[in-house]
Structure 1
Amino acid sequence: MNKRTKKTIIWTVSIIIAGILGYGTYYVSSIYSGLEGLQKKGEASPFREIEKVDAKAPEPPKWEGTEPVNILLMGVDARGFEEGEIPRSDSMLVASIDPVQKKIHLFSILRDTYTEIPGHSQNRINTAITHGPNTAMKAVGDLLGIPIQYYVYTDFQGFMKLVDSVGGVEFYVEKDMKYSSKADKNEYDIDLKKGMQHLDGNKALQYARFRYDKMGDFTRTERQRELMKAVGKKMQSTTSIMKMPEILNAVSPYIDTNMDVNDMWKLANVAYQSKMKGSEQVPPMKLLVEANIGGAAVLTVKDPGTLKQYVQDVLNSPVSESETNNSDTESGKQSDKQDAKTTNNAGLSSDSN
C-alpha cells in the first residue's frame, strides 16, 4: 500500500468519523430541545388561567433513578373548548415504573369514579384536571394510595400525532366498532372492522374512544391499556429511537408535563430497559358500587382502604421467570384474550365521546 492510498484511507475514515460525531451531536441536541419543549411554562401553559387556584403542591422531588415513580397520563377531548379552557379528562392512566426491578405497571382509572377532589369536595375523578394538574395528581394519588410525582397532559390531536410519528401499530381489533355523530360534523366518527390490522393515529383514536357496547367504559379502559402497551413497545424499537427528534417535534405542541429534561432522560432510559408487568382497572369490579348522586350515575368505592391495598398487592407482586420470558409475546396473545372476554354486566352511561 503506497503513501497516497494510505492518505486517502485516513481522510475517508476521518470524514466518516466526523460525520458520525456531527450527526450524534445533532441527534442529542435535537432530542434535548424536543424534551425541553414538552414542559410548558407561563403563557405557553394550557393551565395558565387556573394556576393560581391549583392545589398547592411542592416541586417534584429530585429523582435519583432508583425509587419507583408514578406518572399520571391524562387525555382530554378539547372539542368545542376555547383556548385556555380545560375540559374534563376523557381518559386517565397511571404508569408506575420500578427502575430496580425493571418493570412497569399501567393502571386505568374509571372516569366516573366518585371521590374527593382536594379543595373542591367530592366529584367524578375526571373533573380533577379542570382545577389544575396538581389537583389531579393529588386526587388520583389519594385514591390509589401512592404518590404521583409527574403528569403528562394531551388531547386527541396529540395522541394521533404520537401514533402516526411512530409509524402506527399492528393491532387486533376484537370486533366491529361503529359510531357516528353529527354534533362534531362527523370528524370523529368510529368505523373499525374486526381483525388484525394496521392502526394509524386516526384509527387508534377511534379504537381508544369506542365505548358503545354492553360494558361501556369498563372495556374501553382495558382497550386503552392494551393500545398504550402496543404504542409503548413500538417506541422501544430501533426505528423509533432513531426518529425520536422527529417524534418529539410532532407531539410537542400538544403535550404538557411537569417533568424536567433530566428526569425525562432518566425515565426514558429506565422505560427502554423495562418490561410491562401488567395492567389493571382501578377501581376493580369487586370494589365498585354503582350510585346516583345529584341525579348523575357515578361509581363509588366500596372500601377505600381495600382499594389502596389492592394497588400495593399489584405493584409488589413477584416477577416470575415465566412472566419475564413471556413478556415479549404478550401482544401476540391479545386476540385470544379479547375473544375470551365476557360481557355479562352492564356498564354505566357516561359523558359523550
Structure 2
Amino acid sequence: MDQPTQPIQPDLQEPPAGKPPIKKRFTRKQIILYSSLGVFLIFASVAAYYIYSIYSFAGKIYVDPANNQPDVVLPTDGSAPTPMAVIEPPEWDGDERINILLLGGDSRGVKSKAKPRSDTMILVSIDPVDKSTHLFSLLRDTYVSIPQRGSNRLNAAIAFGGPLLAMETVHNLLDLPIHYYVYTDFEGFISLIDELGGIDFEVDKNMRRTDNRDDPKYNINLEKGLQHLDGLTALQYVRYRSDAMSDFARSERQRKFLTAIASKLKSTTSLFKLPQLLNGVAPYIETNIPPGDLLKLARLGMQLDTSNLGGIQIPQMNAFRNEIIDGMDVLVPDTEKVRIYIKEQLAGETTANLNH
C-alpha cells in the first residue's frame, strides 16, 4: 500500500543563534533628505518663535495715534484751543525711504503719564533699496516754531503735545516726512544696555560731572580709554556735555554709541537672547509703528550696514546763529540751508523716493 504523501514544509531557516535579523538600511540620499528636513524644521521652529517674540513685543509697545495725543493744543496767545488732527501714517510697503524720530526723555521729576522735554532727538533715515542709513542729531536748543505753541526750543515740543507734536515740529523744520517715532527714557536706555550685557566702548576723554540736586547715580565719572559700559555708565557717556563743544560733541558721541548698540544687537549672542531682551525693554518704550511694519523693519535691520552709520548734526555748523531769546540761549537755524543740506546728504546715496 502506498504511503500517504507528506506535505512539503517550507524551508524556514532560522537565523543563527545570537544574531539579530538583518535590518533595512537607509540609503545615503535618504539620510541626507531626512537630515535636511530635520534641520529645516528646527530652523523653522526657531524662526517662528523669534517672529512671534518680535510681534508680541511690537504689540506691547505700540500706541495707537488716535489714543496718544492731547485733545487740543493750548495756544500761547489766549485764543481758542485748536483740536489736534489724528495722525495715522499709511502702512509702509517696505520699499520707500522711511524716517523715524528717536526721542529720549528725561522723566525725572515729571508727573505720571506726562512727557518731559526730550533730552535726545535723533532722526533715523533708512533707504531699504540700497540699505543705507543716516542719523541726524537734532540739537535740542534749536529755536523753532512749534504748531499752536509759538517759538521755543525744539526739545519743548514733546512736553507741549507729546511725540506727535514733536514729529510735526521736526517735519516743519526739515521739510521731510516723519513717518514714525520711538520714545524711551533714561530707565529704558539703561535696561537696553544691561539686557545686551553691556558694551565695550572707547571713551574719548575723562568725564566728570556732579549735580547735588540730582540722584547720585546720575553723576558722571568715566575714565578715558576702552571701558565695559553697563546701562548706567553708558547713560553717563551719552549725556555728558561739560566740554567746550557741549551739545555738538555730545551729539557725535551719541551717534557713535548708537553704532555700537546696532552692532551688538546684530551679534550672534544678542540674537539668541532676543526674546529676553525684548521683554526686558518693552515696559520703557512706546512707538506708533504698527506691529506689521515693525516686523518688516526688524528684517530690514539685519540687512543694513551698521558698522559706520552716517551721522549729521542739525543744524549744521554754518547754518545757525547763537542768540539769547526770552532769557534762553538758543540756536536760530537758517531753515533753507538746513533743508538743502539734508536733501543733498540723502540724495547722494539714495535710490528711494525722499518725499513719499
With structure 2 as the length reference, what TM-score do the two structures score? 0.81
What residue is the counterpart of 1:27 in the other structure?
Answer: 50
Q: Are 1:39 and 2:68 an aligned pair? A: no
Report the counterpart of residue 289 of structure 1 in structure 2: 321
2:152 is equivalent to residue 123 of structure 1:
yes
Deviation at 1:210, TM superposition (A): 0.4
Q: Which moved more, 1:268-277 or 1:84-93?
A: 268-277
Contact 2:125/2:134, CA 8 A, preserved across alignment: yes
User: How big is the shift at 1:95?
Assistant: 0.3
Change (3 A) 1:52 1:227: same
**Inter-CA distance 224–51: structure 2 relative to 1 (3 Å threshold):** farther
For residues 246-257 of structure 1, the aligned pairs below 5 Å read 246-257=276-287
Q: Distance in 2 between matches of 1:247 and 1:175?
A: 30
Question: Aligned letter for 2:85?
Answer: K
Where do residues 138-153 of structure 1 align in structure 2 (5 Å cutoff)? Answer: 138-153=168-183
Q: Is the 1:117–1:123 Cα contact (8 Å) retained in structure 2?
A: yes
Contact 2:102 2:183 in 1 (8 A): yes
Are the counterparts in 1 of residues 55 and 292 from structure 2 also a CA contact under 8 Å?
no
User: Structure 2 matches for 1:318-337, cutoff 5 A?
Assistant: 318=349
CA offset at residue 168 of structure 1? 1.8
Residue of structure 1 in register with 2:263 after alignment: 233
Whether contact under 8 Å (1:55, 1:135) holds in the other structure is no
List gaps (5 residues or longer) in structure 1: 320-353
Aligned partners of 1:317, 1:22: CA distance in 2, in Å? 41
Alignment of 1:60-209 (within 5 A): 60-130=89-159, 131-209=161-239
Give the count of matched residue pairs. 312
- 1:42 positional shift: 9.5
Say if 1:100 and 1:15 are closer, same or farther in 2 by CA, change over 3 A: closer
Contact 2:190–2:234 at 8 Å: present in 1 too?
yes
Using the TM superposition, name which of 242-251 and 254-263 deviates more.
242-251
Name the SS for the 2:166 alignment partner.
Answer: helix
How far 1:19 sits from its partner (Å)?
A: 6.1
- Give the Cα separation in 2 of the matches to 1:311 and 1:2: 75
* Residue pair 1:55, 1:134 contacting (<8 A) in 2 also: no
Q: CA deviation at 1:306?
A: 1.4
- Quick check: which has more Rg, 1 or 2? 2
Q: Is the 8 A contact 1:69 1:98 kept in 2?
A: yes
Is the CA contact (8 Å cut-off) linking 2:99 and 2:124 kept in structure 1? yes
Q: Deviations over 1:289-333 (max 9, x none)?
A: 0011111111101x21111000011112248xxxxxxxxxxxxxx
Give the number of the structure whose residues are more often helix, by fraction: 1
1:219-278: per-residue Cα shift (whole Å, max 9, x none)?
111111111111011112222222221111011100000001111111122222122551
- Give me the TM-score of the superposition, normalised by structure 1: 0.81
Change (3 A) 1:306 1:137: same
CA apart distance, 1:26? 3.2
Identity score, percent: 43
1:119-173 CA-to-partner distances (Å, cap 9, x unmatched) read 2111110011111221100111111121100000000010111112122222110
Matched position secondary structure for 2:133: strand
Residue 27 of structure 1: CA displacement?
Answer: 3.1
Q: Tell me how large the CA RMSD over aligned residues is.
A: 2.6
Are 2:241 and 2:247, in contact at CA under 8 Å, matched by a contact in 1? yes
Counterpart of 1:37 in 2: which secondary structure?
helix
User: Residue 249 of structure 1 aligns to a residue in which SS?
Assistant: helix
C-alpha distance in structure 2 between counterparts of 1:20 and 1:178, whole Å:
48
Q: Which residue matches 2:338? A: 307
Judging changes above 3 Å, is the alpha-carbon distance between structure 1 residues 2 and 252 closer, same or farther for their aligned structure 2 residues? farther
| Partner Cα separation in structure 1 for residue 65 and residue 323 of structure 2 | 40
User: Aligned pair in 2 of structure 1 residues 316, 72: CA closer, same or farther (>3 Å)?
Assistant: same
* Cα distance, 1:203 vs structure 2: 1.1
Q: Does residue 269 of structure 1 match 2:304?
A: no
Structure 1 stretch displaced more, 213-222 or 266-275:
266-275
- Deviation digits for residues 10-29 of structure 1 (CA, Å, limit 9, x no counterpart): 9x979887766554443332
Partners in 2 of 1:92 and 1:279 — Cα distance?
Answer: 13
CA distance in 2, matches of 1:2, 1:313: 75
Any unmatched runs of 5+ in structure 2? Answer: 1-20, 74-82, 351-356
Structure 2: distance between partners of 1:109 and 1:245: 31
Residues 1:292 and 1:66: Cα distance change in structure 2 (over 3 Å):
same
